[in-house]
Structure 1
């Protein structure tokens, strides 16, 4: 059994009772991540390449992706990018593999992501349970930077802890091992609409749930309630998704552009999304 708590809900009310903890500032706030398959791990997209087996291969791939995107994106940019961090968040926004893992401050948005990305079979039945992960960014970072002058809460890319320990052009030997919870650069309407926040991974290839599960090993000991997994059974996904749409949590709200409008309209007229 994993060290993190796993809760299974049977209704919208059951879900809300688990996430209704209040968002009272950086120290006590919670972040949420929805995933369409409860078996998926908390790992960023760049880790999912079959050829990446070591930290050196990870950072080599990142450098190649950054260089290629920087060179090829120029004709499409309205404004010049000032630094690597802006480039990284732009890449994440448009689906390029990065060391960033998306989270949100809004539990309803996370639930929508989980339910709307759940896979159906040819009969229109959901084939997997979905899941929403709940994390305390303050407790996570408190553990990662134990023994240092950490003041609590999520960090900014400009903080020395991040800019020095997770730099995109750093020698891999100098990069921190474990992920850090950071606030994103709000350079797109989607990040703003989705209340987006992120975990930036270091040189470890382990997922966040695997790292958490090593509590007590390698001097990693997370406080209680740092990470929680909420499982949404396949049988109630359709009902919960209808409830969310009725409450105004729709594609057009989460994706405030023409793509979001198209998804919402397709869903309303009975097309698969």
Structure 2
């Protein structure tokens, strides 16, 4: 365990008076925003160990804008579906700290300017009390309410571990299906990759890289390559094609073929040598999803159209959507009317009513297999709605199990014998050429070594 004191919770809300109460609810999608990647990795799974760690961290409570801040502690953290409910209390021995006194410390506390315009919950890799004491903003003797040092938890272990293709196939066949439809996804770097689409990924500092520009990414590719999209009927079709060309989208690739997922789990970060130094392999992982068949949608699904057309809306419009309104009032919002306009462009007879819970869901979609890559990879997608988060440990709708993969180089050799390789997984001439060159280079080296 990595024992440390230099971590604190930073809470920001737009709801004035929220910190005068004893409880507050954050949308799960706002948790770990503006959090360094190495810290966020320990809190992707919110089990008892992670929740207890969060409760041990000192807390700084703030409002959007330039308002005074408070120091306090967490009493409890309770996951509630797509929300996190916190109970808290302020430190009675530390008065409010004016924003003008915090301003010179923002860099030292890792508080970024744009953070103060967005409701979120960050976990900062800084010593809150040390910084405040050095700036003489709290008494020298002030200590965190819970003095026990906090441990950044390691990610949860996988459900199973395999070191051969045979062991992997045995593990997959032994899993209880329960009448559900099964999909797979391979990650070549088990500690690094999360169950989130490329659009939602953050840099090492915890800032979103592309999310605020989603509508621009979507339109720019259509403008520059409009001919490639002429046959696409729905926005989902366009997102699938954009995903195929590596544009960040709200789609997460999955497959119905477990061997394809295994290939992706093994295709990089294998053991190697560099300048005579052994570089150990990084374990891979295959994630197994189980989904009720009636929850698997197709490319022409109305719900899929609603989620896919979010890509056409500016971030400011999406963030103005108020999900606390009644169903009728929800659909009267300007942002929702604009979304309905986009949906009706591709579905003129669509009833002008959106179910608000659907708009924030994660949907399993079988899109059109419009290119050879999707066809061979038996591709499907998880389509993420507005601020949607897929719990790394599973949700009531999507079951999640994990198989850790080691001995990856040998597995790639065995997969090649089953015709699962770069040439077939990526069926383009440049990939075929690279595969053939590498294959015969290996044979030539083996032959020369035997002479």
**TM-score grouping bracket, smaller chain normalisation:** 0.7 to 0.9
Partner of 1:157: 299
Deviation at 1:252, TM superposition (A): 1.5
Q: 1:130 to 1:22 in 2, by over 3 A?
A: closer
Partner of 2:285: 131
What TM-score results when the alignment is normalised by the length of structure 1?
0.76
Checking the alignment, whether the CA contact within 8 Å between 2:235 and 2:305 is kept in structure 1 is no
Q: 1:91 to 1:120 in 2, by over 3 A?
A: farther
Determine if the alignment matches structure 1 residue 253 to structure 2 residue 253. no
Structure with greater Cα Rg: 2
Partner of 1:104: 255
Determine if the alignment matches structure 1 residue 63 to structure 2 residue 215. yes
Two-structure CA RMSD over aligned residues (Å)? 3.1
Partner of 2:379: 196
Partner of 1:19: 172
**Counterpart-to-counterpart distance in 2, 1:107 and 1:160:** 29
Deviation at 1:201, TM superposition (A): 0.8
Partner of 1:143: none
Checking the alignment, whether the CA contact within 8 Å between 1:31 and 1:136 is kept in structure 2 is yes
Q: Which runs of 4+ in 1 moved over 3 A?
A: 1-5, 21-24, 49-54, 78-83, 123-126, 220-223
Partner of 2:367: 184
Checking the alignment, whether the CA contact within 8 Å between 2:299 and 2:365 is kept in structure 1 is yes
Structure 2 residue runs without a partner (length 5+): 1-44, 48-155, 322-355, 443-451
**Counterpart-to-counterpart distance in 2, 1:131 and 1:64:** 33
Checking the alignment, whether the CA contact within 8 Å between 1:34 and 1:133 is kept in structure 2 is yes
Determine if the alignment matches structure 1 residue 266 to structure 2 residue 437. yes
Q: 1:267 to 1:94 in 2, by over 3 A?
A: same
Structure 1 residue runs without a partner (length 5+): 139-150
Deviation at 1:127, TM superposition (A): 2.8
Partner of 2:226: 74
Deviation at 1:21, TM superposition (A): 5.7
Partner of 1:45: 198
Q: 1:164 to 1:255 in 2, by over 3 A?
A: same
Deviation at 1:205, TM superposition (A): 5.7
Aligned residues: 242
Cα deviation code 1:21-55 (max 9, x no counterpart)? 6999xx5331111111111111111112449868x
What TM-score results when the alignment is normalised by the length of structure 2?
0.48
Partner of 2:159: 6
